[in-house]
Structure 1
């Protein structure tokens, strides 16, 4: 590799995203082409892979997990047949152990929709091997940032690290209002834009204070699960990293689909 890959955070949205013609789906379809190099493998830290202690999937042929209900039948026929990346999973586990953590290796974990929803768009041919890593229930933003810092060397080894969650994720508000896909609520866009200003302006302390560190954070994240992958991606950007918002849009009123790249300021400026 001539240059380390950036670490990314993407908002994966509803599982129906690959079936929809939305700005976020268009963005994800072009994301791999915008990278400085094509990754040899992808490590996804998914909001839907939440465990009580760190866990990584070492599955060689991960199955597609349908971890949702009430969606169109076509969605349950959708699969992502990318091979697993057990060597990358074990390398991630090694780095986390070197940083003082413990990691369980799970040879049976498949691709939850936090993994396959964005990858169906990014890599429709399923050509790039994928490993997945959990977020850890009850651990803080700072803890997940350190988790990501331990993984940063993977970027120099041709591995694309993706935190897959949501910039905003108030499903209760969605269920109460049943908005149209093209709707946008001020509460969600306001927080997403404040998050963007903090990340691009270098106020990472406010972000790493957790959802309560920015106005409207707890309304947009009643639980932490979908924001935790962001902190991992921030850490995986490496020492001295900066953040750059590379996409902003909203689906269903309250689901901000914003995405970020984390890398050195020089690399982000050149991208």
Structure 2
């Protein structure tokens, strides 16, 4: 991919629950603040990205996998939602070119990578991308997290992908800074606020090396295991922070008291 003069920021974003952009009523209204923040992503860049790479919390593999389909299908990876939400489409094209570049960068850094031509957009991607770019005219490629759940490995993966930022590629991490479905809502309020405070403090006003050390030791943070019994929704943040390098982090991109007072934060780097 060709190089551009400007380096794009990276974002770790809350993708919300299920197919929320295609719903109505109280659940839909609970996402108003999130929707506004997602709608601001592209305008905040000052230029239209050539393509978007989404590190999805909803795709776990033993080695990094990247979606290669030029016309990705849909993956309705949720249950119990209205019938029409199993027919929705986010018709953005894929980009075999970007998928190949991702694979090239990872392999050059000693990390294996596999292409997946069948993988469709999961809701961690399409529910986030619908408010970000409803026109669906920017190519989107998905990248998996790793089943090892190794924090340092995810940071290293992000560092290898950093050149994409100077090639017109917007790198997004799709997850949630609190993800414990057994304690969602009021039951998770205390843990979510404790972990969110630690996360914001650990990422803001420190250099890239200090950030990486904190993220590698995220399990030592207050209420960390209550906030993330499984860390797949946090690990896209590690990839994004790795790709950010020494760029500063803004913790004000999106903060929300979510579903019964859960504290969740989205982050922009650079």
Q: Same fold (TM over 0.5)?
A: yes
In structure 2, runs of 5+ residues without a counterpart are: none
**Separation in structure 1 between the aligned mates of residue 81 and residue 179 of structure 2, nearest angstrom:** 18
- 2:229 corresponds to 1:229: no
- 2:205 corresponds to 1:201: yes
Corresponding position of 2:133: 123
Give 1:31 shift. Answer: 1.5
**Separation in structure 2 between the aligned mates of residue 48 and residue 219 of structure 1, nearest angstrom:** 19
Corresponding position of 2:41: 31
**Separation in structure 2 between the aligned mates of residue 26 and residue 134 of structure 1, nearest angstrom:** 26
- 2:80 corresponds to 1:70: yes
Corresponding position of 1:158: 168
- 2:121 corresponds to 1:111: yes
Q: String of CA shifts for 1:173-222, please: whole Å, max 9, x gaps.
A: 12xxxx48xx9823212311221111003242222213x13101110000
Give 1:53 shift. Answer: 1.3
Corresponding position of 1:215: 222
- 1:10-29 aligned at under 5 Å gives the runs 10-18=13-21, 19=23, 20-21=28-29, 22-29=32-39
**Separation in structure 2 between the aligned mates of residue 69 and residue 116 of structure 1, nearest angstrom:** 16
**Separation in structure 2 between the aligned mates of residue 151 and residue 255 of structure 1, nearest angstrom:** 32
Distance verdict in 2 for CA 1:51–1:184, change over 3 Å: closer
Determine helix, strand or coil for the equivalent of 2:238: helix
Determine helix, strand or coil for the equivalent of 1:201: coil
Instruction: Let me know the Cα RMSD of the aligned residues.
Output: 1.8
- 1:82-97 aligned at under 5 Å gives the runs 82-97=92-107
Q: String of CA shifts for 1:224-261, please: whole Å, max 9, x gaps.
A: 111110000001113x2222121101322375442111
**Separation in structure 2 between the aligned mates of residue 26 and residue 63 of structure 1, nearest angstrom:** 27
- 1:27-66 aligned at under 5 Å gives the runs 27-66=37-76
Corresponding position of 1:100: 110
TM-score, structure 1 as length reference: 0.89
**Residue in structure 1 matching 2:154, options 132, 140, 144:** 144
**Separation in structure 1 between the aligned mates of residue 5 and residue 267 of structure 2, nearest angstrom:** 22
Q: Size of the alignment, in residue pairs?
A: 255
Determine helix, strand or coil for the equivalent of 2:233: coil
TM-score, structure 2 as length reference: 0.89
**Separation in structure 2 between the aligned mates of residue 94 and residue 254 of structure 1, nearest angstrom:** 43
**Separation in structure 2 between the aligned mates of residue 254 and residue 53 of structure 1, nearest angstrom:** 36
Q: String of CA shifts for 1:18-40, please: whole Å, max 9, x gaps.
A: 13232011111221111132111
**2:56–2:175 contact (8 Å) kept in structure 1:** yes
**2:192–2:264 contact (8 Å) kept in structure 1:** no
**Separation in structure 2 between the aligned mates of residue 31 and residue 38 of structure 1, nearest angstrom:** 10
Corresponding position of 1:188: 192
**1:168–1:254 contact (8 Å) kept in structure 2:** no
